Amino acid sequence: MEIYLVRHTETICEKGICYGQSDVGLLENYTTQFESIKKQIPVNATFYSSPLLRCTVLADYLSGSNYKIDSRLMEMHFGDWELKKWDAISPEEINPWMNDFVNVSVPNGESFTVLFDRVIDFMKTELQANSTKPVVLVTHAGVIRSILCKISNLPLIDAFTNKVDFGEVIKIKLQKTLTI
């Protein structure tokens, strides 16, 4: 099964802002980048998208409004840190998470393990049932890193070694019977 992992294009948030599940818009003039992405994916694919605007705008463009929304494809929930500057979060609050982001949840948010578990649940339930058509997932860097960790047996602590740029398309192949 061919799966195309597509990260949304750049958002309106300035660099250094934590915006995980906040519903922020895209930078203007994204159509050229959308066209480039469209050339990298198959026309006859099944499309899934995170419900966040930065993904649905792209999914709509790529699929001609023929996509399914799934909240399990949302970025990590950063709870109390949403829309804060990373450097404005107190050391007492951020250090435990920075020392173990895999297991420590953000206050009123989630840990990377929680994100990983919901992404793998999506893969087991949705992709197992998919036909032989290629699949396009329009989503976020954390989701893509989770999938790449799973398929390459990379420990979650090393997830950030998987660089995922804005607007990047990563093609992977999985067996029809997923061993997830």
**Predicted pLDDT at 149:** 97
Q: Where are the alpha helices (DSSP H) in 5-140?
A: 31-38, 53-63, 91-99, 112-122, 128-129
Q: How many CB atoms lie within 10 A of CB 35?
A: 11
Q: What confidence tier does 180 reach under pLDDT thresholds 50, 70, 90?
A: low
Query: pLDDT for 105-140, tens place per residue?
Result: 999 999 999 999 999 999 999 887 766 789 999 999
Judged against a pLDDT cut of 80, whether residue 47 lies above it is answered with yes
State the DSSP H helix or E strand holding residue 3, giving kind and residue range, or none if neither.
strand 2-7
- Record the pTM: 0.94
**Predicted pLDDT at 161:** 95
Query: pLDDT for 5-23, tens place per residue?
Result: 999 999 999 999 999 999 9
Residue 40 CA from chain centroid, whole number: 18
The CATH architecture of the domain made up of 2-173 is 3-Layer(aba) Sandwich (3.40)
Q: Which of 95, 88, 71 is nearest to 21 (CA)?
A: 71
Angle (nearest 5°) at CA 55 between 27 and 6: 100
Domains of the chain, by residue range, sit at 2-173
**Predicted pLDDT at 131:** 64
